[in-house]
Amino acid sequence: MSDCTFCDIVSGEGPAEVVFEDELTLAFMDIVPYTDGHTLVIPKRHSADIFELEQPEADAVWRTTIRLAHAIRDALSPAGLTVRQANGRVADQHIMHFHIHLIPRDQREKRGSLTQIGEFAERIRAALGRSDPRTPTS
What are the residue numbers of the active site? Answer: 99
Residues in the chain: 138
Report DSSP state, residue 80: E
DSSP characters for 17-79? -EEEE-SSEEEEE-SS-SSTT-EEEEESS--SSTTT--TTHHHHHHHHHHHHHHHHHHHH--S
Measure the CA–CA gap between 44 and 111, rounded to whole angstroms.
27
Pairing of strands 25-29, 80-84: unpaired
